[in-house]
Amino acid sequence: MILKFGDGDLDLKPTKIVAVARNYKAHAEEMRSAVPSKPTFFLKPPSSLVSDNSNVVLPRMSARVDYEVELAVVMKSVVKNSAPGTVKDKILGYTILVDITARDIQAEAKKAGMPWTIAKGYDTFAPLGPRIVGVEEVNEKDLDIWLKVNGEYKQRGNTDQMIFSVEELVSYISHIMTLEPMDVIATGTPSGVGPMEEGDAVEAGIEHIGVLRFRAVRESQ
């Protein structure tokens, strides 16, 4: 995946996408989940990535596919067992990721005590872009974040509402798995998540980063 970064282009090839769950209190409440006392996360495969102005494919297996706009962190260097105060210089920058979720499949998995991999891992389930903004260019602790479907606001929040900061997330994850250069961390979504229908035009924006756009299409028979 080629993204604009600074005055040039960057070929983003992460070894993994780490997605943080319930990192906004209001989202935890709308999902009827407890507010976590420590970060909770899952993995999305790199094959789920698609770029700006792509199509997100609604799979035949799912009757409800949801959007979740998130601030995404792109790593610059290896991080392992690092303290929060030491990780900032190991971050390349920030971009936008929409964590697409087959909500009905996720609900079935939760009920059965099974992993969420299918619900989160379909091809096209991680639109990302439109560019990476250098870590020194924005204050990631205070950025307006929003999502529109067909021009109508569905999600509106600010990254100051995150329960765990970027530094805390990077540190915590690094004590469980090594973060490699170009790995992506999706930091959670504000409230207002909801379903997409075939033909919907989605815009996801974060202040000082830009707007990521995609269209929902139904999987062909």
What is the value of pTM for the model shown? Answer: 0.95
Q: Is the peptide bond before 195 cis (omega within 30 degrees of 0)?
A: no
| Gap between the Cα atoms of 178 and 119, Å rounded | 25
| Gap between the Cα atoms of 106 and 62, Å rounded | 10
pLDDT of 99 reads: 98
CA distances from 73 to 3, 32, 106, 186, 217 (A): 14, 27, 24, 6, 27
pLDDT per residue over 177-221, tens digit each? 999 999 999 999 999 999 999 999 999 999 999 999 999 999 986
pLDDT per residue over 124-153, tens digit each? 999 999 999 999 999 999 999 999 999 999
- Nearest in space to 134 (alpha carbons), one of 66, 190, 209: 209
- Split at pLDDT 50, 70, 90, the class of 46 is very high
| Gap between the Cα atoms of 59 and 45, Å rounded | 16
| Gap between the Cα atoms of 52 and 83, Å rounded | 33
Q: What's the mean pLDDT in 94-113?
A: 96
pLDDT of 53 reads: 97
| Average per-residue pLDDT for the chain | 95
Q: Give the domain ranges of the chain.
A: 52-218
CATH class of the domain comprising 52-218: alpha beta
